[in-house]
């Protein structure tokens, strides 16, 4: 039984709001119902999940959860707080000065770059991290899209008969088996490898680094760009080489966009950037669609300069069957499923809370 009522200050995030649903008896019933609906297609019994998780947190439940959306709100809420949970909000000397009772700071992610870990260590405050399954899933989805384009799956999937292949514009016919093998009897042109090609990663945050790990495993040459270059040890760990953005665009066979969607990244890929892209390169965006200017994207596809494109999430949700992007046979679109299944988020939240539970002893 929890004899000490813990208090958490939590960055306001669509997934971190779930901490209040789990821990706080005063959680808004409408919020609880909204999360039950949000998880229902993967987790029909949300209430059962809540009960089971709460039983695993006897020292932490119940607790008060205060959501904050800015640095100022974070500092204002820290007096009396036992834990802080942040994703992007800075946590440094000013925050520590306001947090006399703090036991731990939990980064909702694996890279605590926004937390002054040295200052926390001086105070004896633990800094906890989490390798989020959702980020891993986004990296896996990136490669699902890349492999789909490289193997032209959007054109050939489930087309196994002569008639269906001919309907797709191919000319299937067996080879002379007296002399040759019969692989690709469907005679699909333009298939390609990932191995040995160059992958340019724009944004080497949590998802970008997961993409890099998988690109290295595929035997790809890795370039990356972001505002701040990684330390040499991190570059070596991910087998990635820094390049300015223009150089990356000019050299990459594949470009993966792994950036947050905000005012600074909106339309980062515009007509000028598409003019710098290596002819025939393929672009994968598993970040916000608006990072790529739609009109410039369509022009690059029409001209053939862009050799392929894949996107998740879409420019609008739900999408439209008459979306012009669907007219291109080198485009793959998926309906915001990159971070799925929902158990990624559920398990991440459970692990985060289990780490805080340990700090209650």
226 neighbors 202 (Cβ within 8 angstroms): yes
* Residue-level pLDDT at 361: 82
Which tens digit of pLDDT belongs to each residue from 199-240? 999 999 999 999 999 999 999 999 999 999 999 999 999 999
Reported as half-sphere exposure (CB side, CA atoms, 13 A), residue 291 has a value of 21
Q: Which positions ≥6 away from 235 have C-beta within 8 Å?
A: 241, 242
The string of DSSP codes covering 115-150 is: B-HHHHHHHT-EEE----HHHHHHHHHHHHHHHHHH
Domain ranges across the chain: 6-129, 135-152+190-333
Q: What is the CATH number of domain 135-152+190-333?
A: 3.40.50.720
Q: Locate all alpha helices (DSSP H) within 226-342, ordered by sequence.
A: 232-238, 245-251, 271-276, 294-303
CATH topology of domain 6-129: Rossmann fold (3.40.50)
Q: For helices 343-358 and 46-55, what crossing angle results, to 10°?
A: 20
Residue 49 vs residues 123, 182, 263, 298: alpha-carbon distances, Å:
36, 52, 37, 44
CA distance 245 to 226: 8
* Residue-level pLDDT at 200: 98
* Residue-level pLDDT at 360: 94
* Residue-level pLDDT at 7: 97
* Residue-level pLDDT at 5: 87
CA distance 13 to 107: 13
Which tens digit of pLDDT belongs to each residue from 17-71? 999 999 999 999 999 999 999 999 999 999 999 999 999 999 999 999 999 999 9
| Domains 6-129 and 135-152+190-333 alike in fold | yes
In the chain, how many H helices and how many E strands?
15, 12
Read off the DSSP letter of residue 289: G
CA distance 279 to 250: 8
CA distance 196 to 189: 19
325 neighbors 158 (Cβ within 8 angstroms): no
> What are the residue ranges in the chain where pLDDT is below 70?
1-4
Q: Locate all alpha helices (DSSP H) within the chain, ordered by sequence.
A: 18-23, 29-39, 46-55, 71-77, 93-97, 117-123, 133-150, 153-156, 162-167, 206-217, 232-238, 245-251, 271-276, 294-303, 343-358
Residue 307: name the closest of 269, 272, 274, 336 by CA.
274
């Amino acid at each position: 039984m929890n004899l000490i009522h813990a208090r958490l200050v939590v960055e306001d995030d669509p997934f971190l709001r779930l901490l209040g649903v789990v821990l706080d008896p005063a959680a808004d019933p409408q919020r609880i119902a909204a999360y039950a609906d949000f998880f229902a297609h993967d987790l029909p019994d949300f209430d059962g999940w809540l009960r089971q998780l709460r039983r695993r947190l006897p020292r932490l439940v119940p607790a008060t959860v205060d959501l904050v959306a800015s640095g100022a709100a974070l500092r204002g809420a820290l007096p009396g707080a036992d834990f802080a949970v942040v994703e992007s909000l800075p946590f440094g000397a000013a925050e520590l000065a306001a947090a006399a009772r703090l036991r731990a700071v939990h980064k909702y992610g694996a890279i605590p770059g926004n937390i002054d870990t040295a200052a926390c260590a001086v105070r004896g405050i633990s800094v906890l991290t989490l390798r989020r399954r959702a980020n891993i899933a986004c990296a896996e989805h990136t490669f699902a899209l890349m492999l789909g384009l490289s193997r032209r799956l959007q054109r050939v999937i489930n087309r196994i008969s002569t008639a269906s292949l001919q309907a797709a514009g191919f000319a299937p016919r067996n080879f002379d088996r007296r002399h040759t093998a019969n692989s690709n009897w469907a005679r699909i042109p333009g298939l390609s490898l990932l191995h040995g090609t160059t992958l340019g990663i724009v944004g080497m945050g949590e998802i970008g680094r997961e993409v890099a790990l998988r690109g290295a495993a595929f035997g790809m040459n890795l370039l990356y760009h972001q505002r701040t270059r990684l330390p040499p040890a991190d570059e070596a760990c991910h087998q990635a080489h820094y390049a300015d953005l223009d150089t990356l665009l000019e050299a990459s066979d594949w470009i993966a966009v792994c950036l947050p969607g905000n005012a600074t990244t909106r339309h980062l890929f515009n007509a000028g950037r598409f003019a710098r892209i290596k002819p025939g390169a393929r672009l994968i965006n598993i970040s916000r669609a608006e990072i790529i200017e739609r009109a410039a994207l369509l022009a690059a596809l029409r001209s053939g300069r862009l050799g392929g494109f894949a996107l998740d999430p879409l420019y609008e949700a739900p999408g439209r069957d008459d979306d012009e992007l669907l007219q291109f046979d080198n485009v793959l679109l998926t309906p915001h499923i990159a971070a799925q299944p929902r158990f990624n988020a559920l398990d991440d939240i459970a692990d985060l809370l289990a780490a805080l539970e340990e700090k209650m002893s």
